[in-house]
Structure 1
Amino acid sequence: MKLTSVFTALAAASFLVSNIAQAESYKVGAAVYGLKGQFMQNWVRELKQHPAVLDGTVQLTIFDGNYDALTQNNQIDTMVTQQYDAILFVPIDTKAAAGAVARAQASDVLVIASNTNIANSKAPFIGNDDIEGGRLQAQAMVDRLGGKGNVVIIQGPIGQSAQIDREKGELEILQKHPEIKIVEKKTANWSRSEAMSLTEDWLNAYPNGINGIIAQNDDMALGALQAVKGRNLSHQDMPITSIDGMPDAIRVAKNGEVITFLQDAQAQSQGALDIALRKLVGSDYKPRSVIWQRYAKDVEWSDGTSKAYILPWVPVTRTNADTLYQQVTQSTK
C-alpha cells in the first residue's frame, strides 16, 4: 500500500511538473519606432492576435519609440534590466540601434528584427526587401509618365533602413530614365500631415513643374493626395506611387488614385514572434501563425532557423483590392 502511494505521488508530481512546463510563459517586448502611422498600428494589432499571445504563452508588452532612436535604445536597456526573454524590434534608425541590440544579446536576451533591419547585427530578420519595393514603385511611376517628366520624392525618416533601401531602389530605376528628373526630395517622417504640408509647398514652388510624386509609404502618399486634390488636380494629372498597402491606401488604389504595394504587417509581426518562440522553446516548436501557409510558395519556415525571411510585395489592383482590404482590416485568430 505504501509503495503504491509513493508511485501515485511520484506520478502526480511528474504530471504537475509536465503541466508547469507546458504552461511556461515568455516575457516578450515589441519595440516599434512609432505608432502614429497605420502600418505600425496594424503591425501591433496583428501581433496581439498571435495564438501564443491570446492563450497566454506570451506575456506581451508594446513599447512606442515615438520616432526617437534614444528612446528606443533606452527601452531596450529597460527590457534587458527587467529580464525579458525576447525583443521584437522595429528600429527608427538602423545604425543607432546597433549598440543597444549588442548589449541585449550580450545579456542573452533574444532580439528579432522585423520590418526594418538593424545595421551590423546578427539578429534574425523578417520583412520585405525594401530595395525591391523602391524599384517597384519607381517603375510604376516610369510607366505612368511614359519615361519622362519631373518627380518629387517624399522620404521616410532619414537613416531608417526602409528609407535608405527604398530610395536606393527608386534611384536605381530612375537613373535608367534620364528624361525623368527629380526636382525635390525631403522627409515627411512617415507622417500624413507632414507630407500634405510638404506637397503643398512644392506645388506652390513648382506650379506647373511636377508630373508625379513618389512617396516612400502610404501615409505620406495619402497626405500628398490630399494636397493634390486641394489644387483640383486628379491622379491622371499627377500620379502618386507608394508602398505599404494600408486600408486607406487600398481604398484609393482601387479607384486608381494611388499606386501601392502591400507589405504584410501580420506576416512581419506574427512571423517575428514565431521565430522568437522557436528559439525559446526549441526544435519541437511549430509555427502557429497562419502567415506561413499564406506565403508557403514564397517563404520557407526552415525550422525557424534562417537568418532572414523575405516576404513578397503584393501589387494592389482593382481586382484584388477588396480581398486585400479584408485581409488587413480583420485579424485572423
Structure 2
Amino acid sequence: MKKFLSMTLITVMTMCLFTGCVQKTNNTLKISKKIRIGVCIANINDKFLSYMLNEMKNYSKSLNDVEVVFVDSKGDSNIQLAQVENFISEGADAIIVNPVDTNSSKPITDKAKAAKVPIISLNEPFQIQNDAASYIDSDSKQSGILEMEYLAKKMNFKGNVVIIMGRMDNEAQRLRTEAYHEVIAKYPDMKIVAMQPADWNRARGMALMQNWLESGKQIDVVVANNDEMAIGALKAIEAAGKLGKITVGGIDTTPDALDYLKSGRLAVTVFQDGAGQAKCAIETAVKVAKGESVEKRVIWQNELVTPEDADKYIDKWGKWKAN
C-alpha cells in the first residue's frame, strides 16, 4: 500500500512539473496548464514590426496562465516555416504569424491545419487565408489613399511624383502602391516619374533618393510605403540642400516619423494602430486556444496624421510605453 501511494505521489509531482500547477477541487486533483502561444515576426529589424512585437510582449505579461514565445524569422520564409514546425512539435495551443511572404506561406498553413493547431496571420495575410483562424491587419489600400490624397491636395493636384515601395513580395506594398496610382490617375497635372522598392528600409530609401536626385530628375513629391523609407528620402533631400522643396509622405506614424512631422520636414503620415493590432492578435490567439469563436477578419481603419496632430500621437506612444 505504501509503495502504491509513493508511486501515485511521484506521478502527480511529475505532472505538476510539466503542467505548472495542481489544484484540489471537491477532493479530486485537477491538472491545469498554461496556454502556450507561439509568435513568428517576419523581421524584427523592421521598425514598425519591432513596435508591434514590443506591444505584444508588454500585453502578454499582464495575462495569467498564458505563456507566449516570440521568434524572429529574419525575413526568410524557410526559417519561418521551421519555426512554425517547432511550435507545433512543442505543443503550442495557437500560433501567430506575421508572414515573411504571402505567396510562400501555404506550407505554413498546411502544417498547422494537419496538426490541428489554430493559426492567425498578423499584418500580412496567408496565401490560403481560409485555413487560418483569423487575419488581423490595417486596411493597406485605405492608408495609401489617405496618404496620396493629402499629398495631392497639398501640391494643388500637380507635380512630378516618385514612389518608394516596400518589399515586392509584400501585400501591403502592392495595395498601397495601387492606391497611389489610382489617386494620381484622377489628376492630369500629376505624373509618376519613377518608382522603385527600398524594402521598408531607411538606409535603402536614402540611397534610392540620392540616386534619383543625382540623376537630375525633377521631383516634387515623394510618396513612400512606410515612414522608414520616407525618413531615408528626407535625409537624402536634406543632404542635397533641397529640404522644403520636395514634399514627402509616409505611413506608420512611428515615434521617429512624428519627430519629423512635428518639425515640418515630413508632410504627412498614416496611423494604423500597431499597438491595437498587436493586442488583438494575442487576445484572438488566447480565445482560439480555449476553443472560442473569433472573427475571421479584423481590419483596422487608418487615421491621417498631419503636423498639427503630431503631439496627440506622441502622447499615444508615451502611454503605450508606460504600459
Normalization by structure 2: what TM-score?
Answer: 0.86
- The answer on 1:182 being equivalent to 2:181 is no
Output the CA distance in 2 between the equivalents of 1:250 and 1:31.
28
Output the CA distance in 2 between the equivalents of 1:326 and 1:200.
33
Residue in 1 that maps onto 2:303? 314
Output the CA distance in 2 between the equivalents of 1:89 and 1:37.
15
Is this contact kept in 2: 1:42–1:328, CA < 8 A?
A: no
Residue in 2 that maps onto 1:29? 38
User: Is the alpha carbon distance of 1:320 and 1:73 closer, same or farther for their aligned partners in structure 2, counting shifts above 3 Å?
Assistant: same
- The answer on 1:128 being equivalent to 2:128 is no
Q: Please state how far the C-alpha of 1:55 moved relative to its aligned partner.
A: 4.0
Residue in 1 that maps onto 2:111? 103
Output the CA distance in 1 between the equivalents of 2:58 and 2:312.
20
Structure 1 residues 111-260: aligned runs within 5 Å: 111-122=119-130, 123=132, 124-207=134-217, 209-234=218-243, 236-258=244-266, 259-260=268-269
Deviations 1:107-161 (A, max 9, x none): 1111111111222212211111101111111112211222221111111111111
- The answer on 1:72 being equivalent to 2:97 is no
Q: Please state how far the C-alpha of 1:97 moved relative to its aligned partner.
A: 1.0
Gaps of 5+ in 2: 1-22
Q: 2:277 aligns with which of 243, 268, 284?
A: 268
Q: Please state how far the C-alpha of 1:54 moved relative to its aligned partner.
A: 3.4
Output the CA distance in 2 between the equivalents of 1:88 and 1:332.
25
Whichever residue aligns with residue 204 of structure 2, its letter is E
Residue in 1 that maps onto 2:315? 326
Output the CA distance in 1 between the equivalents of 2:247 and 2:86.
45
Q: Please state how far the C-alpha of 1:185 moved relative to its aligned partner.
A: 1.1
Is this contact kept in 1: 2:147–2:304, CA < 8 A?
A: no
Is this contact kept in 2: 1:125–1:309, CA < 8 A?
A: yes
Output the CA distance in 2 between the equivalents of 1:261 and 1:179.
24
What percentage of aligned pairs have identical amino acids?
A: 27
Whichever residue aligns with residue 260 of structure 2, its letter is V
Q: 1:38 aligns with which of 47, 50, 60?
A: 47
Whichever residue aligns with residue 308 of structure 1, its letter is R
User: Is the alpha carbon distance of 1:147 and 1:317 closer, same or farther for their aligned partners in structure 2, counting shifts above 3 Å?
Assistant: closer
SS in 2 for 1:35: coil
Whichever residue aligns with residue 251 of structure 1, its letter is D
Q: Please state how far the C-alpha of 1:33 moved relative to its aligned partner.
A: 1.1
Segment of structure 1 superposing worse, 137-146 or 56-65: 56-65
Residue in 1 that maps onto 2:3? none
Output the CA distance in 2 between the equivalents of 1:55 and 1:272.
13
Output the CA distance in 1 between the equivalents of 2:50 and 2:27.
41
Residue in 1 that maps onto 2:93? 85
Normalization by structure 1: what TM-score?
Answer: 0.83
Gaps of 5+ in 1: 1-10, 284-303
Equivalenced residues, count: 297
Q: Please state how far the C-alpha of 1:16 moved relative to its aligned partner.
A: 7.2
Is this contact kept in 1: 2:251–2:271, CA < 8 A?
A: yes
Output the CA distance in 2 between the equivalents of 1:119 and 1:60.
25
SS in 2 for 1:43: helix
Output the CA distance in 1 between the equivalents of 2:27 and 2:199.
54
Structure with a larger share of its residues in strand: 2
Output the CA distance in 2 between the equivalents of 1:35 and 1:49.
16
Is this contact kept in 1: 2:44–2:74, CA < 8 A?
A: yes
Q: Please state how far the C-alpha of 1:206 moved relative to its aligned partner.
A: 2.6
Q: Please state how far the C-alpha of 1:222 moved relative to its aligned partner.
A: 0.6
Whichever residue aligns with residue 276 of structure 2, its letter is A
Whichever residue aligns with residue 167 of structure 2, its letter is P
Output the CA distance in 2 between the equivalents of 1:328 and 1:155.
26
Output the CA distance in 2 between the equivalents of 1:192 and 1:100.
30
Deviations 1:172-203 (A, max 9, x none): 11121232221111111111011101110011
Output the CA distance in 1 between the equivalents of 2:196 and 2:223.
11
Is this contact kept in 1: 2:94–2:288, CA < 8 A?
A: no
